[in-house]
Structure 1
Amino acid sequence: MCRLLKCCCGPSSKTMKMLISLIMARKLCGIYHVCYTWGKTNVIPRRFLAAINNDFKRAKFEEDFLSSHIETTGFQKFLLTVGSAAVSLLDPTRADMIAVMGETAGDSAFRYILQTMQSDSEGQEILRNRPRINSLTVDLEKLRQMPDGTLGRAYIAFLDYNKVTPDSRLTVQFVDDVKLAYVVQRYREVHDLIHTVLGMPTNMLGEVTVKWVEAIQTRLPMCVGGALFGPLRLYPKQRQKYVKYYLPWAIQTGTNCKFLMNIYYEHRWEQPIIELHEELHIKMLEVPKS
């Protein structure tokens, strides 16, 4: 070490300055972000960089909202609600019609969700930052490398097993208020995460169970409709399990667990899912093997 310092201080003091600069840069890395622009070095506190990034996310969502928003009158919304509800009942696979019904018939529920999120510190942070969940904002490959038992690993396993992608969620079109539009978009994008946290598959039995939990927590009409009418499409054996195990568990979970829209999932990828269950007061469903 002494020889190194002597060497650096000897022929060229410039080398020593560069070495000191590198050491200082490494120490400041956790607090500051160092950028190089046009030959100049700019040091920016990371908290300011995070604020800029969050402002960018908000602006990006507002840009997407304006580009996709379709302005409608109250009467037009009524017609869209009736039409989309009829099509959804005849063909439950029409995700586009279910989405339209959800947007045009759920104004009071949107306001309830917004108010509930505003009353919680984690919910406030979500509303403030307006994060999105898709393949551009979430490093899916990084989630695959996380340890077993973490939320991130469980989520990517859910996506892979069910052959779904976070990019499949439609953009909100018929909600006029940007704050409420984000609430709807957030609900859509965390739906698969709710499946993951609850340990529910994407078959009809799993979907109906999740819809009960979501209906109790969000009061969304489309969730209420799915919870009430979805069981009609269950097979007899599924219906028996549903009535005996899944329905009581869904009602108890939806009533007792923490509001699932208030979870900043992106900050919890590395959290053990068992620990998350304890925090949210979720007891996993256990169905005896028949």
Structure 2
Amino acid sequence: MAWRALQRCGGEVPSALAGVHQVRFASSGPLTALLGAASGLVTRPPSAYPTHMPLSGLEKGAVALLSLWGAFRDPRRGDLVAASGETTGLPALYAMRDRMRASETGRRILAERPLITDEVVAPCWDMPEHTFGGQYAKFMGTRGFLASGRPPCRFIDDPELAYVITRARQVHDFWHVLFGCHTNAFGEVALKAVEFVQTGLPMTGLAVLAGEWRLRPEDRALLNSQFLPWAVRAGARAPDLMCIYYEQHFREPLEELRLRWRIEVAPSAPQNTQKPPRRRAAEPPAAAAGSELAAGAGGGAAPAAAA
């Protein structure tokens, strides 16, 4: 009976042996798995892409704790927001990738891995104001944001998952435009709540809590009574926003896209509430044709969002 128990646990007992009980653990047994897990805590995986910074399990845990604390204390630290999103969001990233793989458009995005750069969005400056691209250019240009300004993914070992979180960061400002979210405290926190409903990334939920903590009591009451209920409703009503190829819809009217994608615009944000500091400064867009877009990528989803 002891031999059978060992066999069930991965051990192998030669039947030719008599009186001497020898056990050889198979390579797939529990002892090997335990040793492999322990090894992962102290050894680093090989580098998988140009910006990858391989970390051991213990190192990732330390980065997660320190970056979460730092990002909660100072949400303006985009590097800490990005690091915490990468080291705490793995289960959510797997779920996001699975949903993208189940969608025809999501599969195309994963296969082609488009990046939202200044060059890609430059044509938006010449588009009519009623189009999605025109409104995006107006949103970015008036704030001096750069589309290429997102921090690269560093701490996720799987290249495909690294792209997923990169995409989530880069489409953050598209979501600002679609949902009509201001970049003051109400707009940023409300949009992070939409992101949490859509993606499940822990960093987006933490951003909402940090935003609540930093608001004045009267602003916090307004956020909880109007903006967060809207965010939950709007995030649940919209389709999977990670499965939209936004770059192919720049020339379409914004209002038509909102109807097609079931986008509920955010409530009007009070203009006198606290505004977060500018995420980054940029030169005003040049008026000459062919100049680069001075548009930026703020928010969590950057290649987090926090995220």
**Normalising to structure 2: TM-score of the pair?**
0.70
Tell whether 2:215 aligns with 1:218: no
Return 5+ residue gaps in structure 2 as ranges.
1-46, 272-307
> CA deviation digits over 1:121-173, x for unaligned, max 9?
1111111110000113x142x21211121110011111012211111101101
Could you say if the C-alpha distance between residues 221 and 289 of structure 1 is closer, same or farther in structure 2, counting changes exceeding 3 Å?
Answer: closer
What does 1:255-270 align with in structure 2 at a 5 Å threshold? 255-270=236-251
Tell whether 2:158 aligns with 1:172: no
Q: Distance in 2 between matches of 1:217 and 1:89?
A: 21
2:97 paired residue among 110, 114, 119: 114
* Structure 1 segments of 4+ aligned residues over 2 angstroms from their partners: 235-241, 285-290
How far has the Cα of 1:111 moved from its partner? 0.4
> CA deviation digits over 1:49-95, x for unaligned, max 9?
xxxxxxxxxxxxxxx96221111111111100001011112211111
1:209–1:250 Cα contact (<8 Å) kept: yes
2:229 partner letter:
P
Identity of aligned residues (%): 34
1:90 paired residue among 73, 86, 96: 73
Q: Distance in 2 between matches of 1:287 and 1:184?
A: 29
Could you say if the C-alpha distance between residues 289 and 130 of structure 1 is closer, same or farther in structure 2, counting changes exceeding 3 Å?
Answer: closer
1:209–1:246 Cα contact (<8 Å) kept: yes
Residue 182 of structure 2: SS of its match in structure 1?
A: coil
What does 1:100-249 align with in structure 2 at a 5 Å threshold? 100-136=83-119, 138-140=120-122, 142-249=123-230
1:187 partner letter:
A
2:181–2:266 Cα contact (<8 Å) kept: no
Tell which has more relative contact order, 1 or 2 (C-alpha 8 A, sep 6+).
2
1:74 partner letter:
G
Residue 184 of structure 1: SS of its match in structure 2?
A: helix
Q: Distance in 2 between matches of 1:89 and 1:284?
A: 27
Could you say if the C-alpha distance between residues 105 and 139 of structure 1 is closer, same or farther in structure 2, counting changes exceeding 3 Å?
Answer: closer
Residue 83 of structure 1: SS of its match in structure 2?
A: helix
Tell me the residue number matched to 1:279. Answer: 260
1:235 partner letter:
R
1:122 partner letter:
T
> CA deviation digits over 1:209-256, x for unaligned, max 9?
011000011010100111233112123343233122211110100111
1:146 partner letter:
M
Residue 251 of structure 2: SS of its match in structure 1?
A: coil
Q: Distance in 2 between matches of 1:167 and 1:146?
A: 20
Q: Distance in 2 between matches of 1:263 and 1:269?
A: 12
How far has the Cα of 1:287 moved from its partner? 4.0
Name whichever structure is richer in helix by fraction.
1
1:158–1:196 Cα contact (<8 Å) kept: yes
Tell me the residue number matched to 1:5. Answer: none
1:219 partner letter:
G
Residue 167 of structure 1: SS of its match in structure 2?
A: coil
> CA deviation digits over 1:15-36, x for unaligned, max 9?
xxxxxxxxxxxxxxxxxxxxxx
Q: Distance in 1 between matches of 2:270 and 2:178?
A: 22
Q: Distance in 2 between matches of 1:67 and 1:289?
A: 43
2:238–2:262 Cα contact (<8 Å) kept: yes
- The count of aligned residue pairs is 225
2:187–2:269 Cα contact (<8 Å) kept: no
What value does the CA root-mean-square deviation take over the aligned residues?
1.8
Q: Distance in 2 between matches of 1:190 and 1:85?
A: 22
**Normalising to structure 1: TM-score of the pair?**
0.74
Q: Distance in 2 between matches of 1:236 and 1:177?
A: 42
